[in-house]
Structure 1
Amino acid sequence: MIYFTFDPRPDLKNDLLSSIREEKFEFTRQVDVELLKQAEILVTYGEDLTVEHLPFMNDLKWIFVASAGIEKMPLKELKEKGIAVSNVRGIHKTPMAESVLAHILTAYRSLKTIYKEEEQKNWNKKVPSKELFGSTAIILGPGAIGGEIGRLLQAFHVKTIGCNRSGKKADFMDDMISFDGLLNALPEADIVISVLPSTEETKNLITAEHFKAMKNDAMFMNFGRGSLVATDVLIEALENGEVGSIVCDVFEEEPLPAHSALWNFEQMTVSPHVSSHSSRYLERSFDIFKRNMKIYKNGDLANLENLVNLEAGY
């Protein structure tokens, strides 16, 4: 039995039922332990599973996570039970890359100011704007999402520097550095973009020292996970003028509390974790699920698309 802990919209549900006729499906809006006991395959967004659910996973062999983030799941315990976990890594690249580019162009072409002037019916031609052409961007996490961001930026003649753990070559990156080389590369960057996942290695990877190394007019963007940088570090960088602007789609605490000082800075843009949102999100997720169902039926769990390394956490 295939058990969904969420109920997709009717057209997508009907497509699944017609595409995989030989399987029994169950759909709920929260985890039902009685259904969990019977499930061989579980489809979830990943945030509703806890250690307490593990004893009810009697027959479970595969968990398909309709999200890229799995950090809230009991990964260690799932590995011990021998349950395969796969996700939809890569489907976010189009909406997230478009979101990142939109924020960059908004800042470079002063769209916030233009919109404010428009509201006041002011014909103000003294709006400062600059070009992306010839600038340099460091992209932390040059995988599927980071690579798509790099591809779009290169179309604007931006030099792209990818940054990952190994420093090994990645698509659409003009140069590569490792995490150890980041501090030395930051003075060259006009834009610093992170799309890194949340792992032990990336937690608090960006420190006050990194902001001090950036250009005073640089743009810092975090679209990966809020654990990358402490909120106090962001506030300090803004207060000290160590960075030109910050755009965050993710935060240490979500929703960002109304009392947070981050709301008060003109050079801070708070995006409420929406950069990956798209009307095509589940459509793309279910395309991966259907492909993986064919692999699963062949008994080839080790070759599932986007199989998660439960030890590494991604």
Structure 2
Amino acid sequence: MRIYFTFEPRPDLREPLLAEFPQVEFIFEKSLSNEELQQADVLVTYGEDLTEESIQYATKLKWIFVASAGIEKMPAQAIIERGILVSNVRGIHKTPMAESMLAHILAIKRALPWMYEQQKKSEWSKKAQQTELRDSTALILGPGAIGSEVGRLLQAFGVTTIGCNRSGKEAAYMNTMISFAQLKEALPQADIVISVLPKTTETTHLLEEEHFAAMKNNAIFMNFGRGNLVDEKVLIQAIETKQIGHAVLDVFEEEPLTSDNPLWTLPNVIVSPHVSSHSSRYVERSLEIFKPSLTKWLKGDTDLENVMDLSRGY
């Protein structure tokens, strides 16, 4: 069996993989090669390098392991037509992303950005507008692995959590649950609104003008899912008209954000360039998911962890 990685794990991660699976021929490269793709039985990729054209070269390919949670940049239809199984690392991001979200929330609540600006100006001032996180309410759109982890951390700080998904079905570390249909009615309760929703047809522009109008004017809005959640013009208007207090954005409709985009300079906006999931342990955690799945695959078992339904987008 030939397994083709389109990235190179560090030697301390690669060597144990080779030792654990001596019967497998591993190919490690820093980019996608159609020549190697022609010979691969299994592909391990971040997903962004695959195209409809390259899939045509993958005549032997039976399984794609995506070392990423999102698949929106992959040629889904071409993969479906070929009957290739796809699995990913869903859940791998929960620790770094939840820590990133909590860091931003605490920084805003305790006025850290203001303090940093005062330090730059060498100004001693005690006029910081600091508030407490305790006794706040957070509404979390998409309480899956990531949303539930941030819910767990927020509950430890004495925050009430409201989870919101398509069905309203119960999720971990949520005090209450609502469906998308109940979202507008629940927004006035929230001090913090966090989205970690995937990109699907249903989530595209899920938040509209009426939703921002329903939020508290001092609410913190955070988008750490996908940029399709809200039309950028609607978001900018909500910030400019002070319908919300702060926006922390890790994802955008168009990435990278252009240098002339007003989000860079609007007050009370934090631009995080899609880095909240980054961690020095990323590949390590990816391989922790890949290895048990590979063990199953070698035995002919296709019931792998995190098998994806490409037709639904997750």
TM-score bracket for the superposition, by shorter chain length: over 0.9
Instruction: Find runs of 4+ consecutive structure 1 residues off by over 6 angstroms.
Output: none
Gaps of 5+ in 1: none
Runs of 5+ unmatched residues, structure 2: none
Tell me whether 1:275 sits opposite 2:276 in the alignment.
yes
Q: For each residue in 1:269-300, what CA deviation from the matched residue of structure 2 results, as whole angstroms up to 9, or x when unmatched?
A: 10011100000000000111101111111211
Residues 52-201 of structure 1 correspond to what in structure 2 (within 5 A)?
52-201=53-202
Which residue matches 1:313?
Answer: 313
Counterpart Cα distance in 2 of 1:29 and 1:132 = 44
Aligned mates of 2:33, 2:134 — CA distance in 1: 53
Aligned-pair Cα RMSD in Å: 0.9
CA drift of 1:224 comes to: 0.5
- Alpha-carbon separation, structure 2, partners of 1:282 and 1:140: 27
Distance 2:133 2:32 in 1: 47
Q: CA deviation at 1:120?
A: 2.6
Per-residue CA shift, 1:157-177, capped at 9, x if unaligned? Answer: 111000000100000000000
Q: CA deviation at 1:121?
A: 2.7
Cα separation, 2, equivalents of 1:66 and 1:221: 24
Q: Tell me which amino acid in the other structure corresponds to 2:160.
A: K
3-state secondary structure, aligned to 1:293? helix
Instruction: Name the CA distance, whole Å, in 1 between partners of 2:9 and 2:233.
Output: 38
Task: Give the TM-score of the pair, scaled to structure 1.
Answer: 0.98
Residue aligned with 1:217, SS: coil
Equivalent-residue separation in structure 1 for 2:127 and 2:262 (angstroms): 30
SS at match of 1:171: coil
Q: Aligned to 1:160, what secondary structure does the other structure show?
A: strand
- The farther-off stretch of 14-23 and 95-104 is 14-23
Give yes or no for the alignment of 1:7 onto 2:5. no
CA deviation profile, 1:40-99 (whole Å, cap 9, x unmatched): 000000001011112211111100000001111111221221110000000100000000
Which amino acid in the other structure matches residue 89 of structure 2?
A: V
Kindly state the Cα deviation for residue 134 of structure 1 after the two structures are TM-superposed: 0.9
Which amino acid counterpart does residue 94 of structure 2 have in structure 1?
Answer: K
Alpha-carbon distance in 1 for matches of 2:204, 2:22: 43
C-alpha distance in 2, partners of 1:227/1:110? 29
Which position in structure 2 is the counterpart of 1:245?
246
> In structure 1, what residue type is equivalent to 2:266?
F
Q: 2:280 is aligned with what amino acid?
A: S
- Per-residue CA distance 1:80-126 (angstroms, 9 max, x = gap): 21110000000100000000000000000000111222233322122
Structure 2: distance between partners of 1:206 and 1:12: 41
Alpha-carbon offset, residue 6 of structure 1: 1.4
TM-score, normalization: structure 2? 0.98
